[in-house]
Amino acid sequence: MDPKRELLRHLLATVAYRGGKTLRGAPATFSSFKPGPASRSAGEILAHMGDLFDWALSLAKGAHEWHPAPPQPWDQEVARFFGALGRFDAHVASDAPLGSSPEQIIQGPIADALTHIGQLAMLRRLADAPVRAENYFKADIAAGRIGPEQAPPRREFD
């Protein structure tokens, strides 16, 4: 496999690991939590993240299609996020050509998704449901491990 595609797949696995950690164990009311009236709710941010990986797949297929979906209940949005991430990873892992450069895909939808994972982590703390800090350098992250079930943390701290 092309080294850039391998790196792209590892980055997607990193999104899955960090995203999974931020999404798991969120309280039932977290989806509607927002810090102020003009901000997006956690559920709206998560829906946007699913949109980002639908867009990433369209870019990988040579299109530039953006189709935002209305937010669904939290568990459905979590499944949608991991489903979209998995479909995109499967395309990157295939022999199909990439319709956009890995660099453009990284600087667009993937970087945006990482920003939103950080926002959700901060919102968890504001909602009194913090995610434990972790030394992500030591995390067991592997290309192709894209679903919500991830390896347990190797080094968490308070």
Query: Residue 57 maps to which CATH number?
Result: 1.20.120.450
Examine residue 46 and state whether it is found in any structural domain, yes or no. yes
Examine residue 158 and state whether it is found in any structural domain, yes or no. no
Examine residue 139 and state whether it is found in any structural domain, yes or no. yes
Examine residue 73 and state whether it is found in any structural domain, yes or no. yes
Q: How confident is the model at residue 28 (pLDDT cuts 50, 70, 90)?
A: confident
Examine residue 77 and state whether it is found in any structural domain, yes or no. yes
Examine residue 47 and state whether it is found in any structural domain, yes or no. yes
The DSSP result for the chain, as a single string, is --HHHHHHHHHHHHHHHHHHHHHTT--TTGGG--SSTTSPPHHHHHHHHHHHHHHHHHHHTT-----------HHHHHHHHHHHHHHHHHHHHSSSPPSS-HHHHIIIIIHHHHHHHHHHHHHHHHTT-PPPEE-GGGS---TT--SS--PPPSSEE-
- The string of pLDDT tens digits covering residues 63-91 is 999 999 999 999 999 999 999 999 999 99
- The string of pLDDT tens digits covering residues 130-139 is 999 999 999 9
> What domain count does the chain have?
1
Q: What per-residue confidence (pLDDT) applies to 1? A: 78
- Give the domain range for residue 49: 3-151
